[in-house]
Structure 1
Amino acid sequence: MTTSQVVFDPFSADFFNGPYETYRRMREEAPVYYSAEYDFYALTRHTDVAAAFRDFETYSSAYGVDLAMVRTGEKAPAKMIISLDPPEHRQMRSLVNKVFTPRAIGALRDMVSEQIDRYLAGVDPQGFDVVSDFSAFFPVEVITAMLGVPPEARQQVRLWIDESLHRDVGQIEMSESGIEAMAQSWLMYYDLITQRRAEPRDDMISGLIAAEVEREDGEISRLRGSEIAGFATLLGGAGAETVTKLVGAAAVMFARHPEQWRILAADRSKIPAAIEELLRYEAPAQYNVRRSQRDIHLHGTTIPAGKPVFLVGGSANRDPEAWTDPDVFDIDRNRTEAQNLGFGYGIHSCLGAALARLECGIALDKLLDFMPAYEVDWDRCERVSMQNVVGWSHVPVRVLR
């Protein structure tokens, strides 16, 4: 009897519909996985992924954020913080960190709550789609309001994000419509930057215009318009997609584990722990792509310099060497067992993690009141097919009480 060789295809229907059995086999059979079809390597064990996230000198972000970009071997032309290595990354990150301090995030609570109330008030109290009627809308309102996008343009940003991230089965490169969506988004932000240079306001883009940074050569200068547009495009996308997918995952997981929904309803102090478990169990961002800067020798395999390397955090968070019963969804699990990689790790850990936790926490609290008991219409659930992202595009529910 022979066993089939494990195949990891991040552009396949099997991946979009749930890659966890593939991850298990990769951890056991091919901890340094090589895809001959796409010419990339992948790390899946928690120890290896966490170490790689920390080692930016070996696993570089400067060549882009996905396989299509990294495999060109050219450094990313757009100066987004996600595609920078130190020292440039350190300088840029320090600017944006000022926007996401605990105090600054706490000050957003009322605004976030108002947006969630606004969209929850518009759904059918008997039954609705948790994603397409609710969680798709409020996260982009929050992050674009922070950036300074006018209200009438905020949901258009969401549509541009969805189009740029969408991938059909087997599709690696961004589609022409996705490229156009990215260009339209970038131009919208660039126009907004021009307006704020003339008339600054109390928003993030105005703050970035006023900021000064120290360049690699020691020169102190202001950010260029292209750099600010890159910041805004990245923050708008990440700030919208992460929360949308986490709230959708919550509706699915608590429908499968109604006893935990009842526990959460009885003790709202457990909401932060529930969010961490959702991030561990099914994080929206399943992997990050880096470029090897030297030959890497690991588990009897050599990753040559100059190759794309997938750091599969979604697998690392299900590693039994790191977590007890990792395939069990448990909001009361011991979270000190291992580092949760759901928001990344190291210098590129998610900028807006605190904001995402705040938004998800308020949304879960309000959903517990709105639908203390519910059931999912499983036949009508649909998953997304997106670059780097997993999650649900449709989760219709019937409210029982």
Structure 2
Amino acid sequence: MVADTEQEAVVFDPFSADFYRDPHAFYPRLRAQAPVFYNAEYDFYALSRHADVAAGLKDFTTYSSAYGVDLGMVRTGQKAPAKMIISIDPPEHRVMRSLVNKVFTPRAISAWHDMVSDTVDRFLAAASAGPSFDVVSDFSVYFPVEVITQMLGVPEERRQQVRLWIDESLHREPGQIDISESGKQAMAEMWLMYYQLIQERREAPREDMISALIAAEVTRDDGAADRLRDSEIAGFATLLGGAGAETVTKLVGGAIATFARHPEQWQQLLDDRSLIPAAVDELLRYDAPVQYNVRRSTREVTLHGVTIPAGAPVFLLGASANRDPDAWTAPDTFDINRDRTEAQNLGFGYGIHSCLGAALARMEALIALDKLLDLMPRYDVQWESCRRVSMQNVAGYSHVPVRILA
């Protein structure tokens, strides 16, 4: 299956401690020497160049999402049992996306701005009582899940429990492919909580996202009206809670680490807050929380002299694609002033499965960065105490302690 001996020398193990420590250390060699990489130990392929990853994300007929979202699920060859929007293909995907899009319009997201701002204020004030605090473990780990669960309608006393369930379901020890039994239990408990909440909202709707999802209606191609079933809403809420919490947590923590290495660009934001949206885009390109998506090939595909058989798990390495020198000028340089039209930024995915909550995540990151600029115009990161996570397809920091300078 391996094309040549040169490729055999390239190492890529997305379940190793080395990968969790620094995923970007592996991508340059993959792109240059093994753009279609085969891992014999785990029996998967990986695409790393921007052109191939972007095309793969768009080509849902060749690279199917219907078998799950990680290698543990995809390699079974069985379609995902839970009907979550992330694990279905068209035409079924179109109907569900149309329904959930109704609660994710720009107008709907902007209506939550004040709530997001107030939530960020509350958690930042609690975290930063002294001159030193941990940007992640004291701050960014809390507010994103509070925001998304509040939008969904989760009672206040259960919102941070959702975060703990998410962490348990995504955690992977080095070498661990499949979700742990405790992770499965966490997913089940979270799904059941949302399912019970849906029953309550059917009886007594409120001004929250679950009530809106219950009421959403779309017309199928045959003219028939359709609504989401309770199990589909529960699956969507489970997915949204996880994606909405983890990505922003890691994005904000990574931002502070990155700007500590580029203080001149932090100063640019201090001088001109209108640059914050561009900075968020560059953070998503340079070091996005989501490293890859896993698909299953539906047919034989030959790329760069390597044939991917039908039925193979395929890693689409979006984080690698976002640093491809064939797509971006000086891709390993962090530059908030770069030309963002050079290539498609894959930080929030691409194609029909692009991140539904991208506008919300951007808004949260914009607000958080703006308030952090006010709080700590000058700061040092305590690098010796920084820690990174080991999670399924998510990379970033669990601890970024900082000291605010006078």
Q: Does 1:69 align with 2:73?
A: yes
- 1:288-307 equivalences under 5 Å are 288-307=293-312
Under a length normalisation based on structure 1, what TM-score does the superposition of the two structures give? 0.97
Displacement of 1:215 in angstroms is 6.5
Aligned equivalent of 2:89, options 85, 108, 113: 85
Under a length normalisation based on structure 2, what TM-score does the superposition of the two structures give? 0.96
Q: Which amino acid in structure 2 is aligned with residue 387 of structure 1?
A: Q
Q: Which amino acid in structure 2 is aligned with residue 233 of structure 1?
A: T
Q: Is the 8 A contact 2:103 2:213 kept in 1?
A: no
**Number of the residue aligned with 2:335:** 330
Deviations 1:351-392 (A, max 9, x none): 000000000000000000000000000110000000010000
**Number of the residue aligned with 1:287:** 292
What SS does structure 1 have at the residue aligned with 2:380?
Answer: strand
Aligned equivalent of 2:38, options 14, 34, 53: 34
The gaps in structure 2 that reach 5 residues or longer are none
Q: Does 1:95 align with 2:99?
A: yes
Displacement of 1:218 in angstroms is 7.0
The gaps in structure 1 that reach 5 residues or longer are none
Q: Does 1:188 align with 2:193?
A: yes
In structure 2, distance between residues paired with 1:23 and 1:265: 33
In structure 1, distance between residues paired with 2:81 and 2:269: 46
Displacement of 1:337 in angstroms is 0.6
Q: Is the 8 A contact 2:140 2:248 kept in 1?
A: yes
Displacement of 1:203 in angstroms is 1.1
**Number of the residue aligned with 1:156:** 161
In structure 2, distance between residues paired with 1:97 and 1:40: 33
Aligned equivalent of 1:143, options 142, 148, 152: 148
Aligned equivalent of 1:319, options 321, 324, 340: 324
**Number of the residue aligned with 1:361:** 366
In structure 1, distance between residues paired with 2:397 and 2:10: 25
In structure 2, distance between residues paired with 1:377 and 1:118: 24
Q: Does 1:133 align with 2:128?
A: no
Deviations 1:74-98 (A, max 9, x none): 1100000000101111111111112
**Number of the residue aligned with 1:261:** 266
In structure 2, distance between residues paired with 1:164 and 1:62: 20
Q: Which amino acid in structure 1 is aligned with residue 13 of structure 2?
A: D
Displacement of 1:304 in angstroms is 0.3
In structure 1, distance between residues paired with 2:272 and 2:206: 41
In structure 1, distance between residues paired with 2:161 and 2:318: 30
Q: Which amino acid in structure 2 is aligned with residue 136 of structure 1?
A: V
In structure 2, distance between residues paired with 1:293 and 1:119: 46
Displacement of 1:219 in angstroms is 5.3
Q: Does 1:12 align with 2:24?
A: no
Displacement of 1:211 in angstroms is 2.5
Q: Is the 8 A contact 1:213 1:223 kept in 2?
A: no
Displacement of 1:312 in angstroms is 0.1
Q: Is the 8 A contact 2:98 2:218 kept in 1?
A: no
Q: Which moved more, 1:90-99 or 1:375-384?
A: 90-99
Q: Which amino acid in structure 1 is aligned with residue 295 of structure 2?
A: R
Aligned residues: 400
In structure 2, distance between residues paired with 1:265 and 1:93: 38
Q: Which amino acid in structure 2 is aligned with residue 343 of structure 1?
A: F
Aligned equivalent of 1:165, options 146, 170, 183: 170
In structure 2, distance between residues paired with 1:220 and 1:375: 56
In structure 1, distance between residues paired with 2:264 and 2:321: 27
What SS does structure 2 have at the residue aligned with 1:42?
Answer: strand
Displacement of 1:5 in angstroms is 0.7
Q: Is the 8 A contact 2:96 2:228 kept in 1?
A: no
**Number of the residue aligned with 1:57:** 61
Question: Taking structure 1 as reference, are residues 183 and 217 closer, same or farther at Cα in structure 2, changes over 3 Å only?
Answer: farther
- 1:206-221 equivalences under 5 Å are 206-213=211-218, 220-221=225-226
In structure 2, distance between residues paired with 1:216 and 1:56: 20
Q: Is the 8 A contact 1:87 1:216 kept in 2?
A: no
In structure 2, distance between residues paired with 1:283 and 1:22: 15
Q: Is the 8 A contact 2:318 2:346 kept in 1?
A: yes
Q: Is the 8 A contact 2:99 2:227 kept in 1?
A: no
Q: Does 1:122 align with 2:126?
A: yes
Q: Which amino acid in structure 1 is aligned with residue 400 of structure 2?
A: V
In structure 1, distance between residues paired with 2:333 and 2:116: 31
In structure 2, distance between residues paired with 1:98 and 1:224: 16
Q: Does 1:235 align with 2:235?
A: no
Q: Which amino acid in structure 1 is aligned with residue 323 of structure 2?
A: R
Q: Which amino acid in structure 1 is aligned with residue 236 of structure 2?
A: F
RMSD: 1.4
**Number of the residue aligned with 1:276:** 281
Question: Taking structure 1 as reference, are residues 218 and 37 closer, same or farther at Cα in structure 2, changes over 3 Å only?
Answer: farther
In structure 1, distance between residues paired with 2:26 and 2:396: 17
